[in-house]
Structure 1
Amino acid sequence: MAAKLLANLIVMGSGILGRAVLQAYRKALENANKTGVAHEAVQNIRRASKAMTEQEARQILGISEQSTWEEIVQRYDILFERNAKHGSFYLQSKVHRAKECLEAIYQQKGDGKL
């Protein structure tokens, strides 16, 4: 008898919990749509899938087209460490992707020493 009662309580409790989670999820989606967070997240996903251009990489690292590979690495180290300590993971990843983009370009051109 006690086992049956306990089983009923577990089934009822999990049903109530499931409905509460679903309701909270719906409310979170509603709030995200109201504030524009959902739209911004979709835009960020779309942007992330596009390849970074050389110009964008240079802007992120704050370097010119005449910069040597050593200058690029030095600037990368400064920005990467700064964002590791006081910045954001997002900015740190952009700095890293910028270096990767320029590294591929420098390897293709044969410029600088890698």
Structure 2
Amino acid sequence: MAAKILANLIIMGSGIVARAFVQAYRQALTNASKSGVAHEAVQNIKRGSKVMAEPEARQVLGVTENSSWEEVVKKYDNLFERNAQNGSFYLQSKVHRAKECLEVVYQKRAEGKNTDS
């Protein structure tokens, strides 16, 4: 008799937990779609293989080919902080990707100068 009651409690308990999980998952999806997180995640997956080109990176940061790395970092810090304050994650991400792209370019330049010496 006790085993039957225990089995019923386990079955009912697992049913309640399963329903709660499904409800929490649905709520999480609803919240994600309201905040645009789901759409942004899909877009990031689609763009995952695309790397920012150097001209676009320079345009985003507002630097020229003759700009020093210090100028690039100053522009990056300024733009990144401004977008952090205004809440534009997209622009903040764009600025960060631009810096990453230019970082590779400047590293290659530095390596090229070191091997020419």
TM-score (norm 1): 0.62
Matched, 1:97 2:97: yes
1:57 deviation in Å?
Answer: 1.3
SS of 1:110 mapped into structure 2: helix
Can you list the C-alpha shifts for 1:48-91, whole angstroms capped at 9, x where unaligned?
A: 33222112212221223333322211100101222333324443
Size of the aligned set, in residue pairs, is 108
* Other-structure match for 1:77: 77
Unmatched runs of 5 consecutive residues or more in structure 2: 112-117
SS of 1:63 mapped into structure 2: coil
For 2:91 and 2:10, locate their aligned partners in 1 and report how far apart those are by CA, in whole Å.
Answer: 46
Can you list the C-alpha shifts for 1:30-56, whole angstroms capped at 9, x where unaligned?
A: xx9xxxx86764332121332221122
* Other-structure match for 2:64: 64
Change (3 A) 1:40 1:90: closer
Residues 43-62 of structure 1 aligned to structure 2 (within 5 Å) = 43-62=43-62
Change (3 A) 1:59 1:7: farther
> What code does the residue aligned with 1:8 have?
N
For 2:66 and 2:18, locate their aligned partners in 1 and report how far apart those are by CA, in whole Å.
Answer: 60
Unmatched runs of 5 consecutive residues or more in structure 1: none
* Other-structure match for 1:87: 87
> What code does the residue aligned with 1:50 have?
K
The CA RMSD over aligned residues, in Å, is 3.7
Identity of aligned residues (%): 72
TM-score (norm 2): 0.61
